[in-house]
Amino acid sequence: MSGSIRRAKREVADVPEPKRPDRRLDQLLHVRKQRLGRLERERGTARDAWRSCRQNLRECKLRKREALRQAVQFWQEARASFLGMTITSGQFHVAKARYERMKEEAAQLNLRCQETVRRCRAAGTRYFAANEEVQRAQRQQEKLGILRDELRALSLQNAEGG
């Protein structure tokens, strides 16, 4: 008997398939986050290079000052000895030649310091450019994050209301 009873066909309910969430913005955020990490590493490298350069400059300036101080001190002692008549004029001329060499060495150190200053300025410029790039990337990352959150809130609102 059960074979002779026909059941009524059920109508298939028209249920929309759930939309797959759009992950493009999340993927973009992920790529931007990787880029931000790379930029931060580059900024750190540039900062370390700049600090190292500034330390080299500081050491160079100290060496230059010390060389100048020694040259001046040597010359003052040689002049005092000559004026005190403890050395001959020949010895004084030898001392004067040595003083001139010491002054020339100090001048060479000064030139090296000036070159180090140029390198430091260039390194500082690179660091500040990298820092600006990181800040720009961080702002962009923040804006994209806010945009993603707003879109999620809108989609939830539409799902609940519609």
Q: Residue 50: what pLDDT?
A: 97
Q: Residue 111 — very low, low, confident or very high, per pLDDT cuts 50/70/90? A: very high
Q: How far apart are CA 153 and CA 144, in angstroms?
A: 14
Which pLDDT belongs to residue 160?
80
The rounded percent of the chain whose pLDDT value lies above 90 is: 68
CB 106 within 8 A of CB 68: yes
Q: What is the pLDDT of residue 20?
A: 78
DSSP string, 72-97: HHHHHHHHHHHHTT-S-HHHHHHHHH
Q: Which two tokens stand for residue 46?
A: 């540039």
The pLDDT assigned to 3 comes to 56
User: For residues 18 and 95, which has the higher predicted lDDT (pLDDT)?
Assistant: 95
Q: How confident is residue 4, by pLDDT bands cut at 50, 70 and 90?
A: low
Provide the percentage of residues in the chain whose pLDDT is more than 70. Answer: 96
Mean pLDDT of the chain: 90
What are the residue boundaries of the structural domains of the chain, listed by start? 41-151
Give the pLDDT band (50/70/90) at residue 23: confident
pLDDT of residue 2: 53
What whole-number distance in Å separates Cα of residue 45 and Cα of residue 56?
A: 16
Rounded to whole angstroms, how far apart are CA atoms 128 and 148? 30
